[in-house]
Amino acid sequence: MERLAGRPPLALSRAKICEASRLRSRLELYYKKRRRLYAQDFPDFFDSDLRRLFADGSAAPAAERAASFLRRSRKSILEAVSVWTGEPKFTVSRLLRALTERCGDLDLRVRNDATALEITAYLATLASHYRLTGRFKKS
């Protein structure tokens, strides 16, 4: 490094990486695409679906917590979804963990006995979509 000190660089590039006059999209559209691309990284991404699957805590305060239900049913749900979608268990597990955590944050409650079937079908749908597109659902 000492022998290079004081010498000019060998290759000088005058090319600009990005010129504003050559841009074809507006900043608003760029950020809209970015929000859509990274939507599933935000905690509220699954909220509307979870609220359809489970009851609100204030509407059914005596019912079992959805997060507890998901933790208790985790093994059977994970096995069924992984087998029938062909998606690796760690992917389904990561998704189930995120949904369980979000159910706890939203204080959601189990509606009825069919919830296990519905959440399994929901997870299978998300896993299948992920397998085909690399994303859990359209945003």
pLDDT of amino acid 116: 86
For residue 60, tell me if it sits in a domain: yes
Domain extent, residue 106, equals 48-139
SS3 108: strand
Q: How many domains does the chain have?
A: 1
Is residue 23 in a domain?
Answer: no
For residue 13, tell me if it sits in a domain. no
Output the pLDDT for position 21: 72
Assigned domain for 2 exists: no
Nearest partner of 78 among 58, 52, 57, 99, judged by Cα: 99
Residue 17 located in a structural domain: no
pLDDT for 32 equals 77
Listed residue (109, 100, 115) closest to 62, CA to CA? 109
Q: Kindly report, residue by residue over 52-91, the tens digit of the pLDDT.
A: 999 998 888 889 999 999 999 999 999 999 999 998 999 8
Which tokens is 13 given?
């590039």
What is the mean pLDDT, run by run of 10 residues, along the chain of 139 residues?
Answer: 79 72 77 69 78 90 93 95 92 92 94 86 89 71
What is the pLDDT, as a whole number, of residue 73? 93
pLDDT score, position 112: 82
Of 39, 41, 134, the residue nearest 91 (C-alpha): 134
22 lies in a domain?
A: no
CB 127 within 8 A of CB 80: no
pLDDT at 43: 62
> DSSP assignment, residue 55?
E
Residue 139: per-residue pLDDT: 53
98 belongs to a structural domain: yes
Residue 41 placed within a domain: no
